[in-house]
Structure 1
Amino acid sequence: MRQFVELFFFTFRFKCAIMFPESQGKLIRMSNFYDKKLLLLKPQRIMLPLFPAKTSFDINALKPLADSIAAHGIIEPLVVRKNDFKRYELVCGHKRLKAAITVGLRRVPCVLVSADELTASLMATAENLNRKSPDYFEQAEEFKRISIRFGIEYETIAEKTGISISALLNRINLLNLSSEVRQKLSGLDESYALTVSLVPQEKQIDFINRITSLSLSPEKAKEAVKDYVFPSLFEKPEAQKETAPLRKSVSCDVRIFSNSLLKLISTLKNSGIEAYSSAVEKEDCIEYTVKIPKSKPGARTQAGAQKHINPICSFVP
C-alpha cells in the first residue's frame, strides 16, 4: 500500500512539474521508492558521461519515442548518479533524454543510484544489451573500452552484464572487420556479421553482396561459406595437400578454440569443480588463462550463490 501511495504522488507531482514548472523549486525531491531516491530534474542539469555506451541515434527511430513522450510523458524513469563533481550524470536513458529535450519537456523523472564510473558503465552496457536492435559493433567497442579503461577481464564484464563469454568474445572478434565491411553490414543481423568474419578479408565485400542479392537467411549464409571459402583455402601444391587443409581449417576461425575452452570449463563446473577462465586481448594474440582451485569442490558455492543473488544491475528499473 505504501508503495502504491508513493507511486501515485510521484505521478501526480511529475504532472504538476510539467503543467506548472514555475511553481516548482530548483530540485523536486521525493521519498524513497523501492529504496531508490526519485527526482524530477531539468534536462539541462543532467550531464552525459564522458564515454556514453550509446553514441549514435537514428533520428527516424527517435521520433516515435518523442511522440509517445509528448502524449504520455516518460513512463520509465532515467537513471542518474552523482559524479565526482557532485553533478547529476546520466547512467541509463540517453535516448529518452534526447526525446524529452526534442519535445521540450521541462523536467524528467530520474532514479538516483549510488554507483562509481565502472558500475555505471556496466549498467549502461547491460541496458543496451536488452534493446531490440542493438548495435553489436558499438557494444563490442564498449566491451573493449571498459576492459582497457578499468583493467578488468572480459569474463568479469560478461558476468556483470549478463551476456555469455562466448557471445562477448564473438563481438570482440567482429572489431577485426574493416570499416567498409561494417558499413555494408549496417542493418543486418549479428549472425550475418559472424558469418562474414569467417571469410578472408579480401573476399568479405563480395560475399556480403552475394548473400544480400540472393536474400539468404542466416542459416543459408553459413552454408554458403563452405562453398565460397573452403575450396580456395584448400588449393595447395601437391606436396602440401595432406597437411595444409587440416591446419588451415583449424586456424581459419579462432572462435572454435574459445568455444571448446568454454565447454570444458562448463563441464568442470557441472562436475563440481569451480574452474574458470579469462581472456585478455593483446596486440598480437588473445591470452587465455584457466584456473582450477586446490580447495575441495563446493567450497565457493556459498560465495558464488551470494554473488548471483545480488547482481550488479539488479536495481536497473
Structure 2
Amino acid sequence: MSMAFSIFGIGKNHHDTKNEVVEIPLDQIEPNRYQPRQVFDEEGIQELAATIDAHGLLQPIILREYEPAKYEIIAGERRFRAMKLLQWEKAPAIVEKMNDHETASLALIENLQRSELSSVEEAQAYEKLMDLNHLTQAKLAKGVGKSQSAVANKLRLLKLIVPVQNAILDGLITERHGRALLNLNDDQQRKMLMRIVNEKLNVRQTEDEVARLQGKPLPSEVEAQKEQERLANEENVKVKKPKKRSVKHKPAKKASPAPKIKISDPRIAMNTIKESVKMINDSGLDAELSEQTLKNAYKITIKIPKQK
C-alpha cells in the first residue's frame, strides 16, 4: 500500500509510530464510519471466529483514539465482529495517531485490497476516496493499482437508482444486470428490476428487454446473426478448391531432325543448285558452274577456288 499511502497522503507524519500491541476493551471500540463494506457474511464471521478460537488472533486490529478512551477501527472490522461473537472482553490492537481524513482513506484502501467487496461497495469506496483526496479518476486508478477504465466502469454503477444498487449489494441481481439498466430512466429501472427478480431473467434476457423498451435491435438476435455469418464464412472457406497438380518436369525433347524435302522434278534440283552457286558468288568467292546433259542424267560441275 506504499503507493496508495503516498498518493492519498497517509502516514506522512507518523514515522515515529511504534507498532506496539495493546489490549483495548471491546466496548470502547466503534466500527469505522467510512467502512465501505455494507454487507457482512455472517457465516464467514462465524468461521473466522472458530479459527480465532482455535488458533488465536494472528493479526491485531488497527485502531485510532478519536476521543479519550474511545477508539475507531481503521482495519479489522471482521476480526472485531468475530471477537464480539466469542465474547472477548479485550481486543489485541495497534493504536495509530490519525486524523479523520487519514482514517477514512486508509479504511477505504484497506478494504479495496480485499476481494469481499461487492461492485457497488467498490464504486462507493472509489467515489469517497476521490472526494476525500480531491483526486481525478486517473490518479485514483494509479493509487489503487487499477486501470482508469476499470475505475470508470465501477463508478458508472452509482448512476443506478438506489433500489437497483441495493439489489446488487444483496446479491439479488448481478453487476452485469445492473449495467444493462444504466441507459433506462428511474421508473424504467424500477420496473425492470421487479421483472428481473420475479421472472428470474438472466443477463441476456435483461439486455433484450431493455433493447425492446428502447426500440433497438435485440442483442440476442444481433448475436445470432453474427454467428450465422461466422458459420457461413467458415463454410465458404471449406469449399474445396481445385487441387494444384504437381508439375512433373519432363526431360526436354530432342530436337527432331529437319523434315526431308522430296523432289520429284530434276529441274527443281538443278535450279536449287544454281541458286546455291549464286549465293556463293555473292559472298565473294568466284565459283564456276558447268552443266552437261547426258543420255539419262544431268551432270553439273562446280569449281570453287582455294584460298591463297
Q: Identify the residue that residue 168 of structure 1 maps to in structure 2.
A: 151
Q: 1:233 to 1:215 in 2, by over 3 A?
A: closer
Whether the aligned pair in 2 keeps the contact of 1:137 and 1:174 (CA below 8 Å) is: yes
- Please give the alpha-carbon distance, in whole angstroms, between the structure 2 residues aligned to 1:92 and 1:194: 31
Matches within 5 A, 1:209-288: 209-210=195-196, 213=199, 216=202, 221=203, 225=207, 227-230=208-211, 232-234=213-215
Whether the aligned pair in 1 keeps the contact of 2:64 and 2:98 (CA below 8 Å) is: yes
Shift of 1:95: 1.7
Q: Identify the residue that residue 125 of structure 1 maps to in structure 2.
A: 108
Q: Identify the residue that residue 195 of structure 1 maps to in structure 2.
A: 180
Opposite residue 42 of structure 2, the aligned amino acid is: I
Give TM-score, length-normalised by structure 2.
0.51
* Residues 95-114 of structure 1 deviation map (CA, whole Å, 9 limit, x = unaligned): 21122012112332223445
Q: Identify the residue that residue 253 of structure 2 maps to in structure 1.
A: none
Opposite residue 182 of structure 2, the aligned amino acid is: S
Q: Identify the residue that residue 204 of structure 1 maps to in structure 2.
A: 189
Shift of 1:117: 2.9
Opposite residue 67 of structure 1, the aligned amino acid is: A
1:67 and 2:18 matched: no
- Please give the alpha-carbon distance, in whole angstroms, between the structure 2 residues aligned to 1:164 and 1:86: 41
* Residues 82-126 of structure 1 deviation map (CA, whole Å, 9 limit, x = unaligned): 447685431011121122012112332223445443333222222
Give TM-score, length-normalised by structure 1.
0.50
Once the two structures are aligned, what percentage of the paired residues are identical? 20
* Residues 155-174 of structure 1 deviation map (CA, whole Å, 9 limit, x = unaligned): 44333333433333323222
Unaligned runs of 5+ in 1: 1-33, 236-317
* Residues 62-98 of structure 1 deviation map (CA, whole Å, 9 limit, x = unaligned): 2222232222222232122344768543101112112
Opposite residue 195 of structure 1, the aligned amino acid is: A
3-state SS of paired residue (2:149): helix
- Please give the alpha-carbon distance, in whole angstroms, between the structure 2 residues aligned to 1:184 and 1:45: 34
Matches within 5 A, 1:171-182: 171-182=154-165
Q: Identify the residue that residue 40 of structure 1 maps to in structure 2.
A: 23
Opposite residue 197 of structure 1, the aligned amino acid is: L
Unaligned runs of 5+ in 2: 1-16, 217-308
Which of 63, 77, 91 is equivalent to 1:94?
Answer: 77
* Residues 159-202 of structure 1 deviation map (CA, whole Å, 9 limit, x = unaligned): 33334333333232222222322343331443332233245544
Q: 1:149 to 1:137 in 2, by over 3 A?
A: same
Q: Identify the residue that residue 302 of structure 2 maps to in structure 1.
A: none
3-state SS of paired residue (1:184): helix
Q: 1:162 to 1:42 in 2, by over 3 A?
A: farther
Whether the aligned pair in 2 keeps the contact of 1:53 and 1:121 (CA below 8 Å) is: no
Give the total of aligned pairs.
197
